[in-house]
Amino acid sequence: MMMDPYNMTLILLVALATFAMRAVGAVVMARVKLAPVSAAAFEAMPVAVLTAVVAPAALTQGLPEAIAGATAVFVGLRAPMAVVIVVAMATVVAMRHVMG
Amino acid sequence: MTTAKQEFLDGFRLVLPILVAPVSFSFITGATSVQKGLSALEATLMSAGVFAGGGQLLALEVWHEPQAWLLVMLAAVSINVRFALQAASVQRKINHFSKFQRWLTIATLTDPAWGMSEVRHLTRQVSFWFISGITVPIYLIWVLGTLAGALLGNLVDDPARLGLDFAFVGIFIALALPFWKKSGALPVAVASGGTAILAKLAGFSALYVFIGAMAGVAVAGLMAARRARQEQA
């Protein structure tokens, strides 16, 4: 067990940035009403960020990863997160094995 | 039975069926943390202090990039900006809490606590103990699951052989699916996903998520502006 200054600094920054998001919402955004265009931009952030994480990770690494990503999406339409994680891991291992 | 106890159990019963998600998610987060060079203690402290899995995983992706201090904050902000919207909405429903209870609720806000409070508010006042019944089990699982994942992750010498490197993608697909199903999400998703892929291929190794997300948000803003113009016409 150890604590490294580099790691601890970054952990602190991530914690502060995350708390700031929650606090800004409670203190500022609960009091102001956003214009429709800004509100739509804010509402779109989760899907925009999540897709920007998923698409490159699934589609730029190779065919095994692309197949595993597509399989995970298909399974995820019905199954909970734990199943999606296991299916994504199992499919990518199997496809990497098959395709060498 | 006291009201507080009843309220806590109400929250706990609602969250119980979905607790398998934080179990698996925290485990992967712990394992990923040690693969990125954190000690098990650091990984556990990170989960205890941040308490937001998507932001933690995305931050870990850029942990060793140049200017990591800026990139990890960008990662945390871009994934967790949804908490600002959720906190704004929850804040209006918990004005009757004590100041301490209110800040504790806001500081530990999660997607389930937000969603279930919104639904509860439709029929009755949301209490601190109701939200605690949701948040306490998630928090305990989150911190202990990270520790377990970190300790076991230390034993894995080749994470790719177990597909551990791809568990991250599975998690984000599961997080994204409810949003993809909403109407109007497709143009935003195509813009952000397509732009992120191009930015990654162009060599923006750490910034491609941010660049892609901005493109998606811009498309959402343009769509809203067009709707507003059409309503005026």
Which pLDDT score, from 0 to 100, does residue B166 have? 92
Residue B83 has which token pair? 């908490």
Domain match, B174 and B221 both: no
Residues B172 and B202 in one domain: no
d(CA A71, CA A73): 5
CB of A99 within 8 Å of any CB in chain B?
no
Nearest Cα residue to A68 out of B207, B153, B172, B192: B172
Q: Does residue B162 or residue A59 have the better pLDDT?
A: A59
Q: How confident is the model at residue B183 (pLDDT cuts 50, 70, 90)?
A: confident
pLDDT-derived band of residue B162, with 50, 70 and 90 as boundaries? confident
Q: Given B45, B81, B193, which is nearest A45 (Cβ)?
A: B81
Judged on CB neighbours under 10 Å (0-12, 13-18, 19+), B204 is middle
Say whether both B217 and B108 belong to one domain: no
Q: What tens digit of pLDDT does each residue of B79-90 get?
A: 999 999 899 989
Identify whether the C-beta of residue A26 lies closer than 8 Å to the C-beta of residue B99.
Answer: no
| Residue B176 pLDDT class (50, 70, 90 cuts) | very high
Write down the pLDDT at residue B1: 60
- Looking at the structure of chain B, the number of domains it has is 2
pLDDT beyond 90 at A11: yes
B68 and B37 in a common domain: yes
Provide the pLDDT confidence category of residue B173 given band limits of 50, 70 and 90.
Answer: very high
Q: Judge whether A5 is closer than 8 Å to chain B, CB to CB.
A: no
Domain boundaries, chain A: 1-32, 35-100
Quick one: pLDDT at residue A74? 97
Judge if B100 and B209 occupy the same domain: no
B37 lies in the same domain as B144: yes
- pLDDT at residue A1 greater than cutoff 80: no
Judge if B175 and B207 occupy the same domain. Answer: no
Write the pLDDT tens digit of every residue in A23-64: 999 998 878 888 889 889 888 988 999 999 999 999 999 999
Per residue in B196-232, pLDDT (tens digit) is 999 999 998 778 999 999 999 999 999 999 998 998 8
Tokens at B8, concatenated: 């806590």
Nearest to A40 among B37, B55, B220 (CB): B220
Instruction: Say whether B185 and A93 touch across the interface (CB within 8 A).
Output: no
